[in-house]
Amino acid sequence: MIKQVSMSIALSVAVVSTAAKANLDEVVTIATRSEAKVADVIGSVAVIDEQTLALVSHAHVQQALSRVAGINLHRGNGQEYLPAVRSPVLTGAGGCGGFLMQEDGIALRAAGFCNINELFEANTEMAQRIEVLRGTGTVLHGSNAMHGVVNVVTPEISQANILGVEVGANDYGRFKFQSGTQSLGMAASFTRDGGYRDDSSFGQQKVSLRHAYQGNGLEIDSGLTITNLNQETASFIEGLDAYKDDDLVKKNLNPEAYRDVRSARVWSRITKSEQNYELIVTPYVRYSKMDFLQHFLPGDPLEENGQRSLGVQVGYYRDIGENINVIAGFDAEMTDAYLKQSQDSPTQGSAFLQETIPEGKHYDYQVDATMAAPFIHLQWDINERLSLLGGLRFESMRYDYSNNMLAGRTKADGTACGRGGCRYSRPASGKDNFNNWSSNVGAQFKISDRQNAFMRLARGFRAPQATELYRLQRAQQITDLDSESVESLEIGISGSAQALNYKVAFYHMEKDHVIYRDSGYFNVSDGNTEHQGVELELDYVLNEQWSFGLSATEARHTYLNSTVLSGVNIRGNDIDTAPRRFSSARLTWAPTVQHNVELEWQSMGSYQLNPENLHQYEGHDLVHLRAGWIVSDTLRFYANVSNLTDENYAERADYTTFSQERYFPGTPRSLQVGVQWAW
């Protein structure tokens, strides 16, 4: 199937001959932490620019990222989501470790302490652009950059003043503000959403500041982002095709569930430039705190976690002659983190659950972590047509874990649970070290002035997350986990043919030492998976008024390890929650410079709900309508209709032995309108 789709895509690109020019001057920082033209980056990089972000005006970051091939975020309730970039949708304690999420080149969380929803801590609503690197990251990225990297770039300092107000269905409202002077800028958004389900509202506030200084041979660019989220969380609905029940989709079976999150990051990028080199030093400090009721677990335990970290990125950029560019650098980071889990009432349900999940404290631990990583990256422009790159990184991660409770599989007071013992197990205090190498080599060949072909080989890794090491269950008292690793091969072609801009990429990835919880509830690292696919992105200008855009993905993600579950050997099966195809197609009509209308069709293919491949979600198709009207130089109106055909669908579907099929139901048809003033 992949070969057939790949051939049809290649043919469609080859036969279209039209007439405009690719924006080869578009700048990104995601690959090297320094500005580079998209055309010069060897790999699959996509940019959601400021104009597109204004058009989408996303209430959830998934609405913007769904326009990029290879990305498939499954939206939960409120601001929650589960990520997928050239991967299945990854879940569990370490699922977030497969992706590196950044703001202004700084990871949102420390490497061993990621959060599955962490993009809600970035100011995507006011971003200047969002950059995406699909596939394994470069040697400047390190741990977690296995399947992809997302970098949110906050607005540069602007002297323009912008004020925006949005209102919409379900008591939705948002206020946006942006202002600046010659050296200081601010961008802020304040959102309130009543939610389309019972007891599912949220309030969110985000503020970003930027400051610029030049003097004494230095350029200093500094940033601060502060976010706050208070969310009432709606849970899954259960039962086969429950998302098709108009009454059930509005119900919230866990009205007591909530998530409160606060975060702050501050950084300064200090640049000293000379004729043949540039030194960039970026110190940063991060803080986050999150409390949430785990409504998806028996007993609804409360988790409280937080972290403080400080670090520095050092990059030395030097030209060796006219054709060789070298980046040598060093990353270092220290983190102080904690996690607590407690339950304030007895567990409801079966006698087994009541006996094995006690009231009181389950976990209380602290982890001090240090990370150090030197790296070197080299790019050699052999001639006007051929460029080569290579890089190497060594990263050392050290955890110092302190258990603040009694060790073992007991209640907080040390007494034993019935029915074989307590579910939650606390390892004794200790230390763990992980040393890893990453590397990449690549080549880009300029076929013509408008076409480039590239090839890239990369090796990435992620150290086990702290929760995988120290948040144990059942009889497990210690882990013996290896770092996950991935080997990736990517081949692609990009270019333009007058009115057509396109990019096609083929990839094959294999992951070893995949960490998961086995049937005995032990955290182990003996999984193996394979990921392969083809991605197409194109933009085609039909005429002065009409244009067309497409982002299409055909992929297969499979288990390579021979594991028997419910009598089924899962080797060769599709990984659960891994659709083989999904796409976004967009038709835009701009009758005048002041007016534009976009119709977007999103298609989600079917996918398996469990590793045994015995249960399936059928997929869905959605249509969204967006329109904008520039009234004057200072005034703009816009409106968005999501799910225009009012389709019954699931944002996420899965299957568990206890609850059978369960779903996060999709949002019914909803209208959002806005007005923006600039002066």
Q: Residue 16 pLDDT > 50, yes or no?
A: no
Tell me the two tokens of residue 114: 């990621």
Each residue's pLDDT tens digit, 209-262: 999 999 988 999 999 999 999 999 999 999 999 999 999 999 999 999 999 999
Let me know: does 177 contact 186? Beta carbons within 8 Å: yes
pLDDT at 364 > cutoff 80: yes
Could you report the per-residue pLDDT of 116-172, keeping only the tens digit for each?
A: 999 999 999 999 999 999 999 999 999 999 999 999 999 988 778 999 999 999 999
Q: Is residue 9 very low, low, confident or very high in pLDDT (cuts 50, 70, 90)?
A: very low
Give the integer Cα–Cα distance in Å for 561 and 335.
34
CA distance 574 to 485: 20
What pLDDT is stored for residue 7 in this prediction?
Answer: 32
| DSSP codes joined into one string, 385-420 | SEEEEEEEEEEEEEEEEEE-S--BSS-TTSPPPSTT
Contact 550, 585 (CB under 8 A): yes
Kindly report the average pLDDT of the chain as a whole number. 93
Task: Work out whether strand 148-153 and strand 99-103 pair parallel, antiparallel, or are unpaired.
Answer: parallel
Whether the Cβ atoms of residue 355 and residue 367 lie closer than 8 Å to each other: no
Give the residue-averaged pLDDT of 459-473.
Answer: 97
Asked if 435 and 396 count as a contact pair (C-beta separation under 8 A), the reply is: yes
What are the DSSP E strand ranges found in 449-518? 451-462, 472-473, 484-497, 500-517
pLDDT level of residue 18 (50, 70, 90 thresholds)? very low
The answer, yes or no, to whether residue 551 has pLDDT greater than 80, is yes
| Position 6 pLDDT exceeds 70 | no
Average confidence (pLDDT) over 534-540:
97
The per-residue pLDDT for range 176-209, each reduced to its tens digit, is: 999 999 999 999 999 999 999 999 999 999 999 9
pLDDT of residue 39: 87
pLDDT of residue 13: 33
Domain positions in the chain are 2-678
Residue with tokens 């998806």: 296
Q: Are 410 and 422 in contact (CB under 8 A)?
A: yes
pLDDT at 8 over 50: no
pLDDT at 22: 36
Second CATH level (architecture) for the domain 2-678: Beta Barrel (2.40)
Spell 632-664 as b/e; 16+ CB within 10 A means b: eeeebebbbbbbbeeeebbbbbbbeeeeebbbb
Confidence at residue 24, expressed as pLDDT on a 0 to 100 scale: 53
List all residues 6 or more positions away from 91 whose beta carbon is below 8 Å from its beta carbon: 82, 116, 577, 654
Question: CA-to-CA distance for 510 and 489, rounded, in angstroms?
Answer: 9
Query: Mean of the pLDDT values across residues 566-574?
Result: 94
Judged by phi (left if over 0) then psi (alpha if -120 to 50, else beta), residue 242 lies in alpha
Q: Are 290 and 260 in contact (CB under 8 A)?
A: yes
